[in-house]
Amino acid sequence: MKEDACDIEEPDEETVNEIKSKMLEEGTILKITDGFKTISDPTRLKILYALSLKDLCVCDLASLLGMSQSAISHQLRVLRDKNMVSFKKEGKMARYYIADDHVMNFIKMGVEHAQE
């Protein structure tokens, strides 16, 4: 038997039932995995990180990431659709920002974990 495998073949039914009663609903699991998929794209993660530092417009993000404004706009649309970013109109400029503290905290935790 492998060293990292359990030598006991019967599950602890009490423990299994306890945890089963606390498991997340399938819809919640799908929302969480969808969020992870959304930020698994390097460009979207760069956008989110930049926005965690300061609110920015599309042209700022395009210059910062060396991409076209249309490419940035496409990625921002994906992030808006997932409620991760929002924008406020300032005259002719639309300034993007992180939609809420949950997204901000997720980015900060990801950075901290990666830098450990």
The CATH number of residue 80's host domain is 1.10.10.10
Could you tell me the pLDDT band of residue 9, with boundaries at 50, 70 and 90?
Answer: confident
Give me the number of domains the chain comprises.
1
Q: Which residue stretches of 5-116 are H helix?
A: 13-22, 26-39, 42-53, 58-65, 69-81, 101-114
**DSSP secondary-structure letter at 87?**
E
Assess if residue 15 is contained within a domain: no
Does residue 1 carry a pLDDT above 70? no
Is 67 part of a structural domain of the chain?
yes
Residue 99: how many CB atoms within 10 A of its CB?
17
- Residue 91's domain comprises 42-114
Q: Is 106 inside a domain boundary?
A: yes
The structure's pTM equals: 0.84
With a cut of 90, say whether residue 3 has pLDDT above it.
no
102 found inside a domain: yes
In a domain, 14, yes or no: no
100 is a domain residue: yes
* 36 part of a folded domain: no
Task: Establish if 2 belongs to a structural domain.
Answer: no
pLDDT at 67: 98
Q: Determine the 3-state secondary structure of 55 from DSSP.
A: coil
For residues 42-69, b (16+ Cβ closer than 10 Å) or e, as one string? eebbebbebbbeebbbbebbbeebebee
**Mean pLDDT across the chain:** 94
The whole-number average pLDDT for the span 89-110 is: 93
